Structure 1
Amino acid sequence: MTGTERRDKIIERIRSSKTPVSGSALAECCEVSRQVIVQDIALIRAAGYDIISTHRGYILNAPHTVNRTFKVRHTDERMEEELCSIVDLGGCVVNVIVNHRVYGRMKAELGIRSRRNVMEFLQGIQSGKSSPLKNITSDYHYHMVEADCEKTLDMIEETLREKEFLVETRG
């Protein structure tokens, strides 16, 4: 794991935790010393993240965000277009959810917030490590998308509709 990958993992671990994450826990999960974590936290702060140290561990002072869940459908060939449409407008694809008729609800955390993340995700799929969850539900799936404001989510929704990814639900 490179230093950049480790710092991305640290940010994601702190961001996804509901409680402070200790330096020891981060060191163990990244298989490095606590001192390396302290140095990484300094670099993460220098990159603009507001990481707060408490006596119980690190927390991320994240800006306020809103989220919306979209029901979408597309082929494997259009997966990149769908994900880039979301991140290019400032959204983060938090997860993917499918409702399987036998196994029930299945969810996977994604955290895709940039084109780089999209490419890394697609490389993982294309390497044969796994296949998209949508493939077990005739391409139907849900994405929880996070953004800075409702206006951004509205733009994402409209783009998904225009590109015919959005599945209109009766309500």
Structure 2
Amino acid sequence: MKKMLGEERRLQLLAQLKKSKTPITGTDLAKFANVSRQVIVNDMTLLKARNEPIIATSQGYLYMQQEQLQHTVERTLACSHTSEQAEDELLTIVDCGGTVKNVIVEHPIYGELTASIMVSNRHEVKQFIERINATQANYLSALTGGIHLHVIAAPSVEVLTLIEQTLQKKGYLITENTV
């Protein structure tokens, strides 16, 4: 297979992402373009800089279709829990019908750090947790004693409210009463 070059490669990668309904790994994109995974990382950065709605998830790269962006509502929730409770927190959110878009922590040196999570169902949560465990990586919330924010997307305000109430009952939500 011939190696794809520069702009032609980025246009082909963008076309692959646009037609896929599920995330595509950097490794799979690298095989498609016959380049290294690092070249793909650089290409994704350049495409994002052009305001293409590409997000890097724990499952791969995803192009956010316009209809996906229009039919959801979002809420940022302040949470706190132990590393051992992270899986339950994520499962709680997806079981209620939400998508965990990211995690945000306030670092004393770097300021706000944000990482994409993009999990919407139990299978994606399982994959995310397995990758954390396999790499022995720490959750970002480990930097802040368990305190973090999540941007949650859902199909309605009612679903967001259900998620918030369920997290509150489990003690994962930080409210004005808990501060």
TM-score (normalizing by structure 1): 0.67
Match of 1:161 among 149, 155, 168: 168
- Structure 1: which 5+ residue stretches go unaligned? 1-20, 34-57
The aligned counterpart of 2:157 is: 150
1:5-32 residue CA offsets vs partner (Å, 9 max, x unmatched)? xxxxxxxxxxxxxxxx843445596131
The aligned counterpart of 1:140 is: 147
Query: Over aligned residue pairs, what C-alpha RMSD do you find?
Result: 2.4
SS at match of 1:102: coil
1:145-164 residue CA offsets vs partner (Å, 9 max, x unmatched)? 00000000000000000000
The aligned counterpart of 2:60 is: none
The aligned counterpart of 1:123 is: 130
Match of 1:107 among 104, 111, 114: 114
SS at match of 2:85: helix
- Structure 2: which 5+ residue stretches go unaligned? 1-9, 18-25, 34-62
SS at match of 1:127: helix
1:9-62 residue CA offsets vs partner (Å, 9 max, x unmatched)? xxxxxxxxxxxx8434455961316xxxxxxxxxxxxxxxxxxxxxxxx87232
Once the two structures are TM-superposed, the CA of residue 64 in structure 1 deviates from its matched residue by 1.0
Provide the identity percentage.
33
1:126-165 residue CA offsets vs partner (Å, 9 max, x unmatched)? 1135210000001100000000000000000000000000
SS at match of 2:164: helix
Paired with 1:137 and 1:81, the residues of 2 have a C-alpha distance of 19
TM-score (normalizing by structure 2): 0.64
What stretches of structure 1 move > 4 A for 4+ residues in a row? 26-29
